[in-house]
Amino acid sequence: MNTERQDLMEKVTALCKRRGFVYPSSEIYGGLGGLYDYGPYGVALRRNIRNLWWRHVVDLRDDVVGIEATIIGPSAVWEASGHVGGFSDPLVDCLGTCRRRWRADHLEGDRCPECGGPLSEPRQFNLMFKTHIGPVEDTASVAYLRPETAQGMFVNFKNVVNSMRVRVPFGIAQQGRSFRNEITHGNFIFRLRELEQMEMEFFVRPGEDERCHEFWIQERLLWYTDVIGICPERLRLRPHREDEKAHYAKASTDIEYLFPFGWGEVEGIANRTDYDLRTHQEHSGQDLTYQDPETSERYLPYVVEPAVGVDRIMITCLLDAYDEEDVRGETRVVLRLHRDVAPVQVAVMPLSKKEELIGPAREVQRSLQQVFRVEYDQTGGNIGRRYRRQDEIGTPFCVTVDFETLEDRAVTIRERDSMAQERVPVAGLLDRLRERFS
Ligand code: GAP
């Protein structure tokens, strides 16, 4: 049975808190809008998402390298990139009773959606968090927390070309935190003020950008369906209209997911042309052109950029995986997460806390840990309750050590989705699980 989409977000939000995926940040002080902390299973899920992105965008290719640039950067970088002047959203104030602030482009009509009061004229609100570096707070010390990781790749373009044996076409990838002082946050971790991005800038010869753009759109779409197991029917590609393209983009296509609140952007793949290298060249006075070693031709490469937030992928995975079904008159909640993103891949459980079961169960845990992400669970509660807990965190397999194990040296594998059980000799357990995972 598929859960009604309307209350899905609330159910997933509650599960995330109950089961240690996501907590509201600084909750004991009332929390802060658009900021969340990640609990143990959330951390594991995020790490798996990050690793799978890195593996497919960097490690499995020989034309992409990684960097890690600073999160805080001098004003000069953000003036050149156009973010100081243009990274803003139109803000309106409610002049009625609630006095709330809204993003004008997210409103329908000219009244406050909360109290129906009149609204102010829109004004531009810059989304960057501003601070100062050093003890003196003057204009020379102004710095910003990055609103995107991309600029780190552009300002290091020359460094990478000079220090690595890269040749256009090649890409620079980065994962890391970005900050946006969003006017309206919400939909749980969909729109955050502190987010984590995974971006790759792929540098190509001008003229080859459109083909490259199409390649990365298809490549990234396949990653969602084939690598992290998102349902293809809930994904679509949406090219940007002329009036919604970012200031740097010649063309942009979003990979969208059918969220409970409608279609929403998971990832954007933009053709940024030579906008960024050109503007940094002009502002810094440094030559950022690339010289083709074979033809000696000099040019500013064009850039195709797949850009996504880890938090967006995480909420997509959770919503896509959440399911409820009726099992003998009780509701079973199960996260049907893809085995490669699941925080725990195998849970090992002794049937009871009796000493004679703990030794063999620990042995099974140790042997499986070499290959899988394993959790050992000997907490109280009957085995059914422990299976249900693993279902809720999306663990594909449970392995149970029982009293018969002491006689027949075999254990039970219980599969999450079908709940089917299989008796397997301990000696063949690792191979059998490998088979089931492949
Ligand atoms: N470098 C290009 C860039 O930053 P973007 O469309 O503004 O483009 C890229 O952001 C991705 O980052 C989005 O597709 C989304 O996955 C994620 N993202 C952006 N703003 C976000 C926010 N406030 N909260 C969570 N994720 C966000």
Question: Per-residue pLDDT for the chain (438 aa), expressed as one digit of tens each?
Answer: 444 666 999 999 999 999 999 999 999 999 999 999 999 999 999 999 999 999 999 999 999 999 999 999 999 999 999 999 989 989 999 999 999 999 998 898 899 999 999 999 999 999 999 999 999 889 889 999 999 999 999 999 999 999 999 999 999 999 999 999 998 877 999 999 999 999 999 999 999 999 999 999 999 999 999 999 999 999 999 999 999 898 889 999 999 999 999 999 999 999 999 999 999 999 999 999 999 999 999 999 999 999 999 999 999 999 999 999 999 999 999 999 999 999 999 999 999 999 999 999 999 999 999 999 999 999 877 999 999 999 999 999 999 999 999 999 999 999 999 999 999 999 999 999 999 998
Can you tell me the distance from the alpha carbon of 256 to that of 269, in angstroms, rounded to the nearest whole number? Answer: 11
Cα separation, 398 vs 42, whole angstroms: 20
CA pair distance 63, 175, nearest whole angstrom: 17
Q: Residue 273: which of 218, 216, 213 has the closest Cα?
A: 213
Nearest to 241 by CA among 232, 225, 233, 253: 253
- Looking at residue 5, its pLDDT comes to 67
What span, in angstroms and rounded, lies between the C-alpha atoms of 307 and 305?
A: 6
The reported pLDDT for the residue numbered 6 is: 63
Going from the Cα of 60 to the center of ligand 1, the distance in angstroms, rounded, reads 24
- SS3 label, residue 133: coil
Phi and psi, residue 407, nearest 5° = -90, -50
Q: Where does residue 127 rank: exposed (0-12), middle (13-18), buried (19+ CB within 10 A)?
A: middle
Spatial distance between the Cα atoms of 35 and 31, rounded to a whole number of angstroms: 8
Does residue 394's CB lie within 6 angstroms of at least one atom of ligand 1?
no
- The CB of 309 under 6 Å from ligand 1? The reply is yes
Mutual angle of helices 40-54 and 310-321, in 10-degree steps: 110
Distance (angstroms) between ligand 1 centre and the Cα of 309 equals 6
pLDDT of residue 1: 42
CA-to-CA separations, 69 to 58, 151, 272, 371, in angstroms, rounded? 17, 9, 20, 32
Q: Check pocket membership of 150 for ligand 1, CB cut-off 6 A.
A: yes
C-beta 180 within 6 A of ligand 1:
yes
| Ligand 1 close to Cβ of residue 267 (< 6 A) | yes
| Alpha-carbon torsion angle 135, 137, 139, 143, nearest 10 | 70
Burial of 310-349, coded b for 16+ CB within 10 Å and e otherwise, reads: bbbbbbbbbbbbbeeeeeeeeeebbbbbbbbbbbbbbbbb
Q: Ligand 1 pocket, 256 CB below 6 A?
A: no
Substitution candidate for ligand 1 out of 188, 256, 265 with most atoms within 8 A of CB: 265
**What is the atom index within ligand 1 of the atom nearest the CA of 192?**
24
Q: Whose CA is nearest to atom 18 of ligand 1?
A: 309
Nearest to 21 by CA among 39, 48, 46: 39
Confirm if 290 and 161 have CB atoms less than 8 A apart. Answer: yes
Q: How many residues does the chain have?
A: 438
| From 151, 195, 248, mutation site for ligand 1 pocket: most ligand atoms within 8 A of C-beta | 195
Q: Is 34 touching ligand 1 by the criterion CB < 6 Å?
A: no
In this structure, are residues 391 and 311 in contact, taking their beta carbons and an 8 Å threshold?
no
Q: What are the residues facing 66 on neighbouring strands?
A: 173
Instruction: Compute the Cα dihedral for 166, 168, 169, 173 and give only its sign.
Output: positive
Regarding the beta carbon of 199 and ligand 1, being less than 6 Å apart is answered yes
Helix (H, G, I), strand (E, B) or coil at 87: coil
What is the distance between the alpha carbons of residues 118 and 120, in angstroms, rounded to a whole number?
7
265 ligand 1 Cβ < 6 A: yes
Structure tokens that stand for 174 in this block: 């980065």
375 lines ligand 1 (CB under 6 A): no
In a 10 Å sphere around its CB, with 0-12 CB exposed, 13-18 middle and 19+ buried, how is residue 180 labelled?
A: buried
Spatial separation of the C-alpha atoms in residues 236 and 245, rounded to whole Å: 18
CB contact at 8 A, 359 and 432 = no
- What's the CA gap between 189 and 15, in Å, rounded? 13
Q: Does an H or E element contain 33, and which?
A: none
End-to-end Cα separation, the chain, in angstroms: 27
Q: Determine which residue's CA is closest to atom 26 belonging to ligand 1.
A: 309
**Of residues 299, 307, 292, the one with CA closest to residue 166:** 292
Instruction: Quickly tell me which residue has 């693993």 as its tokens.
Output: 390
* CB of 308 shorter than 6 A to ligand 1: yes
Using CA atoms, how far apart are residues 352 and 404, in angstroms rounded to an integer?
A: 12
Rg of the Cα atoms in the chain:
25
Which residues in 278-420 belong to E strands, given as ranges? Answer: 290-291, 298-299, 302-309, 322-327, 330-335, 346-350, 374-376, 397-401, 410-415
Q: What are phi and psi of 172, to 5 degrees?
A: -120, 130
Q: Whose CA is nearest to atom 11 of ligand 1?
A: 308
Is 185 a pocket residue for ligand 1 (Cβ < 6 Å)? no
